[in-house]
Structures are given as structure tokens and as C-alpha cells.
Amino acid sequence: MADTMIDDVRLAPDELEAAGIRTVIVATPDLQGRLVGRRIPVEGFGRVVENGVDICTCAWSWDIEQGLELIDANRFALCGMHNGVPDVTLIPDLDTLRPAAWLEGVAICLADPVDVRSHEPQAISPRVLLKQELARLRERGLTPLAGTELEFYLFRNDPRELRRSGFRDLDPTTLTPSDFMIHEGNLYEPFFQKLRSDLRASGILVETAQSEWGLGQWEMTFEYGDPLEMADRHALYKLAVRDTAARAGMSATFMARPLNDQPGSSCHVHLSFVDAQGTAVFWDEAAPDHLSPRMRSAIAGALEHAPALMAWYAPTVNAYRRSNSSDVAGSGRTWGFDNRTTTVRVVGHSPRALRFEFRLPGADTNPYLTLTGLLASARDGMDQDAVLAAPVTGSAYDLPGDGAMPGDPHQASRLFGESALVRELLDPSIIAHQQILLEHEWATFMSRVTDWDLQRYFDRI
């Protein structure tokens, strides 16, 4: 169904002007999962199709605030004063060319960065990394299927005024816990109906939507399918939510935990595989629980490598506000059947529906990197016939804490660099690059005095 829908909305370059397109955005994800690129007048898009379009490598080198300290200090091999802060070329992936229907007269085309001279793929690109992992799975005769569930908070504050005020006086769109409640959603149905309609017209099918327990918190889930298409939709969806909210005078945040007294926002990832004949790899008719040995090994791999890959699953300081909590954000290296307190939750009761849900990532995760890490972990587990421990039948939060899991970006960086799986996936220079950014995130946080410090210590110590 999803592929048919994409075919229905996909555009060819020679159809753009007839479709009323005046601008084509050519974009690719940065290391935070945000889309970066250029806007091309429609009459110039043919030139970009032929030659690509250049952007600066700084897009993968500055921090989340586009700070230039690390670039000025020549911390990266990719980009610095030592090599003149060079460009890369974005090569449009024409299979992704579609209307950005929430923007009038605009189409968007995802792209992959390549070296300006050698035309080799830029190895640090999250989209390139995901493509490489999908190729490894194809070599094994495996086709993965993935889906993401993404939560966010929506506030009745104008985004520009909110930033000017220092994000004070947030006015949430719901004022009481409203998980699954219909009446709270009805007030905002015109907003979400327009958003869903625009997403569908952009080839992004929303499967379900609901109000959540947090005040002002909402969730949308996407059609299950190809992981690369899923990551593209995920990135476009976040862009559409922000744009649509801003036009309505509201602000959306995908922070993992934006409020002290409210639950965090997750990015649950559902995963399964079919083989070359289209047979569900995770289903075993003869097993009492129907979990095949390969599914057990895939889950074991996902859990084994979770500590090292928290660098991708929880990439910010704020992400650990959520993952270190007990509000069903995953709990160490645990799994169970339909158990929301565990990190891996097994769901589904038929060959096609049986899958596992990975609950560690927050809403701030980069979907391309999270899917790369989870797929690689499952692949390694299956390759090694990894042995899965017993499932948790009660609350995973009643178990002793898992000391292997990092509690902040500094710890995550160390585990990331020590991981044999990460060293298989990434060149040493890329590992170092990502570690530098993680360490910078932590060092920047630790260098600031916060409201928490003042409230706790000012007149009491």
C-alpha cells in the first residue's frame, strides 16, 4: 500500500512546472537528523539533476547551534581551517522527489552527499550509512521492514516569541493527561486533519494519531515499510509538523524531555524481516511463542549493542533526562512480551505482524542513524546466533539497574568508540568525529550554570 501511495505522489523532473511547483528543495540529513540543503528555482532543477548542488561540509561538523568552535580548532579531518572548510556535492535521489504539500508550490528531493572531486559517497552521511547497512542485509537475502512512532509536544505559543522569552510560560495544547482520549483531540482536529492531508499528498502516510498522557503531547505513527523510505518520511514529517505549527501560531518540540514534571517523548522503532521468498523470518509455527531462533538472536543483538549505540539512540544531554527515568523509556538490556517496561517489546500474533518494538530512542534521535544501529545490531545477533536471556514478566524497573548503560553523552562516547560493531560500520575518522561532537555536547552543558543550580544551591550551600 505504502509503495503504491509513493508512486501516486512521486514527481518526475519534467512534471514539476505542470504540477505548479516553483521551488525544489534539495536536502539531506545532518548528524542531528535535520534536513540541510538548498532551494532551487524549478527552472534550474535540471542542472542540479545533472551536476548536483554543493553545500559546505560544516553541516556535519558544527554542533546543534551551528557553533564554529570545533571547526575553527581543526578538530575534524572532514572540515576545518586546515582544509579550507570544503564543499560536498548533493546528488538528488529522484526516487524521493515529491510535493512538500504543506508548502505552496514547493517540491522536495532527498539527496546523498559525495566528494566534490572523487564523487565517492560521503561516509559520514547518515543516509549513506543506512544505505550501506541495507546492502549488507540484502547480501544475506534479508529485507527489513521498519516503522517509527514519534511523539512530540505542541504549545500554543508563537515560536519566535517563545524563543525571545527564553521558552518561558509554555501554554500546552492539552491541560490534563489525555492519553487515547478522543475529546481532547477533537479541538485540534482541524490542525491535524490538514497536517495529515498534506503529509499524505507528500507520500507520507500516517497510520494512527492520538493525544498522549503528557500535557500538550501528541503521537503519530507511520506506515510500516522500507527503512530508508521510513527514515526519509520521518525527517520530512518533523519538518512538516514544525512548519504547520508555526503557521498556526504554535510551537512543536521533539526534545526527548522538554518538561520536568511530564513524560518524555519517544521514537519507538518496530522491526521485522522477510527472506528472499517473502517469508517472515521472525515467525516459527512450531515454537510455543512463535519466536523463531533468528528473531531471538536479532533481539539479543539489539540488546547486546544497545549501550554502545546510545550515542545514536540518545544523542543529546536532554535525551538522558528521558532514558534515565522510569516512564516506560526502556530499561537496560531487557525484553518481554507486550511489556512496556522493557527495552524490547515483542508484539504481533501472525507471521506478518510479529515484530519487536525497540523503545530506547527518544524523539530527538536521528532516524537514519537509529535505524542503521538497530539493523546492524539485529544482523550481528543473527550472524552470531546470539543467545537471548529469559523475558521479563513483571516490571523491568523492579530489577537491579543495568550498569552497562551510559547515563550521559560522555559515557556514551566512550562506549561508542570501544564497540567492535561500530568499528565494523565506521571508519576510525568518522568514529572520532562523532565522539568529538558528543564530548562537545557534554562539555558545553557542564560549562553552564542552569536554573536548577541556582534553585538548589544559591542560598543553601
For residue 180, the model assigns a pLDDT of 87
The per-residue pLDDT for range 277-311, each reduced to its tens digit, is 999 999 999 999 999 999 999 999 999 999 999 99
What type of residue sits at position 327?
D
Half-sphere exposure of 409 (CA within 13 A, CB side): 20
For residue 6, the model assigns a pLDDT of 62
DSSP string, 163-224: HHTTS-S--BS-SS--TT-HHHHHHTHHHHHHHHHHHHHTT--EEEEEE-SSTTEEEEEE--
For residue 50, the model assigns a pLDDT of 97
CATH of domain 134-405: 3.30.590.10
In this predicted structure, the answer to whether residue 273 has a pLDDT above a threshold of 80 is yes
- Name the residue among 180, 181, 229, 179 with its Cα closest to residue 205: 229
Cα–Cα distance between 263 and 327 in angstroms, integer? 6
Q: What is the mean pLDDT of the chain?
A: 95
Give the total residue count for the chain.
461
Scanning the structure block, which residue is given the C-alpha cell 505513527?
221
For residue 202, the model assigns a pLDDT of 97
Residues β-bridged to residue 148: 269
Cα–Cα distance between 241 and 155 in angstroms, integer? 12
Scanning the structure block, which residue is given the C-alpha cell 537475502?
141
The per-residue pLDDT for range 331-381, each reduced to its tens digit, is 999 999 999 999 999 999 999 999 999 999 999 999 999 999 999 999 999
Cα–Cα distance between 49 and 46 in angstroms, integer? 5
In this predicted structure, the answer to whether residue 5 has a pLDDT above a threshold of 80 is no
What type of residue sits at position 92?
P
Mean pLDDT, range 199-227, rounded to an integer? 93
Domain residue extents for the chain: 9-115, 134-405
444: which 3 cell numbers? Answer: 558545553
> pLDDT-derived band of residue 4, with 50, 70 and 90 as boundaries?
low
Mean pLDDT, range 388-408, rounded to an integer? 95
For residue 1, the model assigns a pLDDT of 42
In this predicted structure, the answer to whether residue 249 has a pLDDT above a threshold of 60 is yes
For residue 327, the model assigns a pLDDT of 84
Cα–Cα distance between 400 and 397 in angstroms, integer? 8
For residue 178, the model assigns a pLDDT of 87
Cα–Cα distance between 403 and 398 in angstroms, integer? 15
Expressed in angstroms, the distance from the first to the final Cα of the chain is 62
The per-residue pLDDT for range 115-152, each reduced to its tens digit, is 999 999 999 999 999 999 999 999 999 999 999 999 99
The per-residue pLDDT for range 60-89, each reduced to its tens digit, is 999 999 999 999 999 999 999 999 999 999
> pLDDT-derived band of residue 275, with 50, 70 and 90 as boundaries?
very high
The per-residue pLDDT for range 164-194, each reduced to its tens digit, is 999 999 999 999 988 888 988 899 999 999 9
In this predicted structure, the answer to whether residue 38 has a pLDDT above a threshold of 90 is yes
For residue 222, the model assigns a pLDDT of 87
For residue 326, the model assigns a pLDDT of 85
Mean pLDDT, range 206-211, rounded to an integer? 89
Secondary structure class of 284 (helix, strand, coil)? coil
- Name the residue among 315, 313, 320, 304 with its Cα closest to residue 435: 315
CATH architecture of 9-115: Roll (3.10)
In this predicted structure, the answer to whether residue 3 has a pLDDT above a threshold of 70 is no
> pLDDT-derived band of residue 93, with 50, 70 and 90 as boundaries?
very high
Which residue spans within 254-385 are E strands per DSSP? 267-274, 335-337, 344-347, 355-358
For residue 2, the model assigns a pLDDT of 46
Q: Is 256 exposed, middle or buried (0-12, 13-18, 19+ CB in 10 A)?
A: buried
Other CB atoms within a 10 A radius of the CB of residue 275 amount to 13
Mean pLDDT, range 150-159, rounded to an integer? 97
